[in-house]
Amino acid sequence: MKPFLHLIVRSERQEADREHDAILRFGELAPQQLHRLDLAENPLPPINLSDYSGIILGGSAFNMSDPTAQKSALQNRVEADIAQLLDEVVALDYPFLGMCYGIGTIGAHQGAIVDKQYGEAAGPVTIALTPAGLADPITNGMSPEFTGLVGHKEAISKLPDHAKLLATSPQAPVQMFRIKNNIYATQFHPELDVPGIVARMKVYQDFGYFDKDKLAEAIAHASSQPITETQLIIRNFIRHHAKADSATHTDSTGSTDSATHTESTDGTGRTESTDSTEETELSDRRIRTLDPLPAPDDFRKEFALGSQRARLVHQTRKDVAKILKGEDDRLLVIVGPCSVHDPVGALEYAHRLATAAHQHRDQLVLVMRVYFEKPRTTVGWKGLINDPFLDGTHNVIEGLKLARKVLLSVLDAGVPIATEFLEPTSPQYIADAVSWGAIGARNTESQVHRQLASGLSMPIGFKNSTDGDVRPALDSCLAASSEHTFFGADGQGRAAAVATKGNPDCHVVLRGGRTGPNYSQGDVSATVAVANAMSSQLGAAAKHGVVIDASHGNSGKDHVRQAEVVRELAARLAAGEQGISGLMMESNLVAGAQAPGPLHTLTYGQSITDSCLDWETTAELLDELALAIAANKQQRMC
């Protein structure tokens, strides 16, 4: 590959060497793959950017925010050299990673306010990725919240509007950002681990970052937490931007492909649909853009499930199927946000649910709603995958990445996942992480979704139609249990004829409708009776019982009424009622709902779609359901 260029600004030779060695180590580079220029020793020579894969600018004791008159001649010369280089970097959207001092240089170059309002003491801080940060390839493998090392006299207090904030912290609101597609900067130190910061603090003890008379205490604080994730920034930057030695290569078809990504005329990489010839006037007349998606196999490899998460998914699918068939006497409870719009809030919810799941493990199997796709009656926000930044940009590729990271993080919390499948292609990217799936009321009569369910690898619940009719859902269960052949795509994204085996683990979800609720004991027994009178091909899951959705038409989408419905069902279960395999609840950290908007303007933990129960009420309801199932078991033993 073409080497990367490391621009070193540190005058302290020993620390400059350590920084270079750290980039080699964390970037998994051989020495010849990382060229070095020490700007503190020599002016920046002319650079041919095409000779390199990208540029990494390191740290320094310099402060960008110091008045020019107070800066040394060396600092003014270095900053002038870097500013001239950045003109070209930004114009070309050339791969660039600025660390520490590097964030101030690219920030100031792009119009950010760099000042001393958010100076940070040396040591570890908790940093949170924004939705854009979670979706960015440079943060691949990182948790939504992680510990990073800092220690600066200045920081960016305000980004320019065209910059994308990727990470933040209470101490410094701008911890990482991106300009265009390929230009990155971090306030925290991705080149440091605990030994690295200890060594650096000894070198810079006279530079005013901390009280040198309390060096031992400062080092103890700085080394108090393990640092295991921030180094991934360097590795991911290298992997994402490494270029082949030759500028172009020819594939087996004879077409030529550039070593760097090629943008279309609209600057997004999308293919613009045109009506420039008589032939094209017959097709795609109402298509604005075609934005290629990554191949599902490649995508899942980049955001790999891993063996531990796979074991959780596999075991939960088995547990859910047994409950639905009556082979496990626990209650399935599918609970969580109506839709995920804030990954950080979703992960906090997952950790709370993990505690409840362990507490009630003998009576309940808790599966978290992690819904990314929202069907709309007319128009509106269609979910995290379709519009991850809540701004109408519809960056589906970034939405897929963000959704996948959320799924992996929820599984890491030990919580299995439920979701609704809406787009017929999206399961290729996320279904391996899902333990239970839903087909919504608007799609329960759709042949496309019945075919899709026939090939999915987890139990699927079909909701009754929006008018409250249960028969279409039962017909869907029967249809999905059969084999089908239909148009689809394979793991490489190629069009394919998909032949399925049929899914025996489909069942009905009673969710009410325009005619009113349908969760009464009579509704349940009638649905089970009709299912048992149908074809023998209908699976045991549909014949044994139903899952009741306490929200939607069964509560008029009123979260207060939803809690009352759950309590009614708990009382019926405690009295020994049969035929209820599970419940669904819409729940979030904060009760109610709010209108969608930019994430920073929203109430943290509150739904932007349907009204949800708050966590405190949810926890109480789970307690009541667990007691009800214990009583139900006792009733059956008598």
Query: Quick check: helix, strand or coil at residue 261?
Result: coil
Which residue from 625, 585, 629, 578 is spatially nearest to 326, judged by alpha carbons?
A: 578
Q: Does this chain's domain 4-241 share its CATH topology with 296-637?
A: no
What tokens does 292 get?
Answer: 């290629």
pLDDT tens column, 519-549: 999 999 999 999 999 978 899 999 999 999 9
pLDDT at 250 over 50: no
By mean pLDDT, which of 13-22, 260-269, 422-431, 485-494 is the weakest?
260-269
Which residue from 245, 133, 238, 151 is spatially nearest to 199, judged by alpha carbons?
A: 151
By mean pLDDT, which of 277-286, 509-518, 524-533 is the weakest?
277-286
- What does the pLDDT average to over 309-334? 98
By mean pLDDT, which of 7-16, 242-251, 305-314, 337-346 is the weakest?
242-251
Residue with structure tokens 């995508």?
Answer: 299
Percent of the chain scoring above 70 in pLDDT: 94
Query: Quick check: helix, strand or coil at residue 446?
Result: coil
Pair 324, 545: CB distance under 8 Å: yes
Round to whole Å and give the CA distance between 604 and 592.
12
What tokens does 234 get?
Answer: 């360097």
Q: Is 17 exposed, middle or buried (0-12, 13-18, 19+ CB in 10 A)?
A: middle
CA atoms within 13 A on the CB side of 41: 9
- What does the pLDDT average to over 153-169? 95
H or E segment and range at residue 632 = helix 615-637
By mean pLDDT, which of 19-33, 196-210, 373-387, 447-461 is the weakest?
373-387
Residue 243 CA to its chain's centroid (Å): 27
Which residue from 482, 575, 590 is spatially nearest to 534, judged by alpha carbons?
A: 482
pLDDT at 189 over 80: yes
Please give the pLDDT value at position 283.
80
The CATH code that applies to domain 296-637 is 3.20.20.70
Our CA angle for 180, 184, 189, nearest 5°, is: 165
Pair 438, 424: CB distance under 8 Å: no
Class of domain 4-241: alpha beta
Q: Is 353 exposed, middle or buried (0-12, 13-18, 19+ CB in 10 A)?
A: buried
Residue 534 CA to its chain's centroid (Å): 41
Strand partners, 462: 439, 508
Whole-model pTM?
A: 0.67
Please give the pLDDT value at position 246.
54
pLDDT at 280 over 80: no
Ordered by start, the domain boundaries in the chain are 4-241, 296-637
Round to whole Å and give the CA distance between 150 and 361.
41
- What does the pLDDT average to over 460-473? 97
DSSP 456-487: -SS-EEEEPPTT--SHHHHHHHHHHTS--EEE
